Chain A
């Protein structure tokens, strides 16, 4: 049974990748958003020394809004194209949730890595060698939280009667417990801080709770309102 769920999850993930490779709108929008925001910010600051806290906040604002433009679409596009009925009839709740969550996570992670590259180039920034592990762990945890909460809330808002506007309204309060500590940790990283378990463990715990809670509640979101 477990392997069937795993196969089904992979099937959902594969479908998302194929669809994204043919309809490039989502990830191109995310990339353009990241690049435009960073370029504008870089020009506005005009090379003036910017403190780590400001840079860290800017970095996570970009990742957060990139997530808002991508994860939001995971279910709403199924709803608009009419494929959600087939998906509900043949797909189990858990494989659909985790397949889409995995795709959202990897897409957002890829975009974040590219945005980091832009960030370093445009702001002449540097992630100190001793902080690199801290940086990647922190990034992965932040992206995990965004994709876990985002996937669940996207399904919830897609099945709601009032679709537009619901996702961002729900997303911000759910994401604050992730965004605040990861932004703070990123400030530490930009200042050369070494890996600090106490900074990332609460985020890890919250991500885990988000993922488990989503999987427990998703059955109700998925089947109740058809």
Chain B
């Protein structure tokens, strides 16, 4: 998997967010996106996800040397951001099944239990409970379970350990490292020093010249 930013510029209401960005992001690595607040970390992930369009330039994705566009590309992506919310009036399991269903997949009982275990959720704690009744940390783990269930080739993580305890943070780092080892491209926006050790490469959006280092 490869994502190429080709001369990408983005303006929001006359404010220049990115100007002539040229980057080649390749799979099998964890690439952390760092920078001050407002430097455009979340916007960078949204661009990479093709959820917003650049003002000029192109963001091209390749999988096995085949160019991917539109839905074909979006189906390779999983995204986790702090402002994403699950449905409060659905149970944890209903949420999981719904979001997985959006990709046309059906989860077996074993798959569901396996996902709860991977994110550190105990079924007894969440069974029959509406997501709106879960604690913030449990809700974050539920979102991470949805994220993992996508089995994506491109991981887009925006401060994924927010609201998680130390064990939760370790889970996210471990899963991201395993995914990168298996060939996923992991883009991880963070300002948390404790997550830096997970990075193979870093893109600093606050520097004058934006490049991978």
Determine if chain A interacts with chain B.
yes
Inter-chain CA distance A15–B46, complex, in Å, is 25
Indicate which residue in B71, B99, B101 contacts A86 across the interface (CB closer than 8 Å).
B99
Assess whether A192 is interfacial by the CB under 8 Å rule: no
- Asked if A224 meets B71 with Cβ closer than 8 Å, knowing A86-B84, A89-B84, A90-B150, the reply is no
Task: Judge whether B88 and A4 touch: CB under 8 Å.
Answer: no
- Asked if A23 meets B89 with Cβ closer than 8 Å, knowing A85-B83, A89-B49, A224-B53, the reply is yes
Assess whether A82 is interfacial by the CB under 8 Å rule: yes
**Residues in A whose Cβ lies below 8 Å from that of B90:** 15, 18-19
Indicate which residue in B52, B78, B79, B101 contacts A10 across the interface (CB closer than 8 Å).
B101
Closest B residue, CB atoms, query A94:
B71
**Residues in A whose Cβ lies below 8 Å from that of B97:** 11
**Residues in B whose Cβ lies below 8 Å from that of A22:** 89
Closest B residue, CB atoms, query A92:
B71
Assess whether A226 is interfacial by the CB under 8 Å rule: yes
Task: Judge whether A8 and B86 touch: CB under 8 Å.
Answer: no
Task: Judge whether A7 and B87 touch: CB under 8 Å.
Answer: no
Task: Judge whether A91 and B102 touch: CB under 8 Å.
Answer: yes
Inter-chain CA distance A223–B59, complex, in Å, is 15
CB distance from B100 to the nearest CB of A (A): 8
Would you call the interface of chain A mostly helix, strand, loop, or mixed? helix
Would you call the interface of chain B mostly helix, strand, loop, or mixed? loop
Task: Judge whether A18 and B94 touch: CB under 8 Å.
Answer: yes
CB distance from A12 to the nearest CB of B (A): 7
Indicate which residue in A15, A82, A95 contacts B85 across the interface (CB closer than 8 Å).
A82
Task: Judge whether B102 and A85 touch: CB under 8 Å.
Answer: no
Q: How many A-B residue pairs have CB under 8 A?
A: 87
> Which residues in chain B, 92-106, are within 8 Å of chain A measured between CB atoms?
94, 97-99, 101-106
Task: Judge whether A226 and B102 touch: CB under 8 Å.
Answer: no
Assess whether A163 is interfacial by the CB under 8 Å rule: no
Count of B interface residues, CB-CB < 8 Å: 35
CB distance from B211 to the nearest CB of A (A): 26
**Residues in A whose Cβ lies below 8 Å from that of B84:** 82, 85-86, 89
CB distance from B203 to the nearest CB of A (A): 21
Inter-chain CA distance A223–B70, complex, in Å, is 10
Closest B residue, CB atoms, query A89:
B79
Task: Judge whether B98 and A4 touch: CB under 8 Å.
Answer: no
**Residues in B whose Cβ lies below 8 Å from that of A91:** 102
- Asked if A89 meets B104 with Cβ closer than 8 Å, knowing A23-B89, A81-B85, A81-B88, the reply is no
Indicate which residue in A14, A81, A92, A223 contacts B51 across the interface (CB closer than 8 Å).
A223
Task: Judge whether B46 and A8 touch: CB under 8 Å.
Answer: no
Interface code B139-156, partner A: CB below 8 Å = 1, 0 otherwise? Answer: 000010010001000000
Interface code B29-52, partner A: CB below 8 Å = 1, 0 otherwise? Answer: 000000000000000001001111
Assess whether B74 is interfacial by the CB under 8 Å rule: yes
A-contacting residues of B (Cβ < 8 Å)? Answer: 46, 49-53, 70-71, 74-75, 77-79, 81, 83-90, 94, 97-99, 101-106, 143, 146, 150
Give the 4 A-B residue pairs with the shortest CB-CB distance, closest first.
Answer: A11-B101, A4-B104, A82-B85, A89-B79
Other A-B contacts than A15-B98, A19-B89, A81-B85, 20 sampled, CB-CB below 8 A, are: A3-B104, A4-B103, A5-B104, A7-B105, A8-B101, A10-B101, A11-B97, A12-B102, A14-B98, A19-B87, A81-B87, A82-B83, A85-B81, A85-B83, A86-B99, A87-B102, A89-B51, A89-B79, A92-B71, A223-B51
A-B contact list, 27 entries, CB within 8 Å: A3-B104, A6-B104, A8-B102, A8-B104, A10-B101, A11-B98, A11-B102, A12-B102, A19-B90, A23-B89, A82-B83, A83-B87, A85-B81, A85-B83, A85-B84, A86-B85, A86-B86, A86-B143, A86-B146, A87-B102, A88-B51, A89-B79, A91-B102, A219-B70, A223-B51, A223-B53, A225-B52
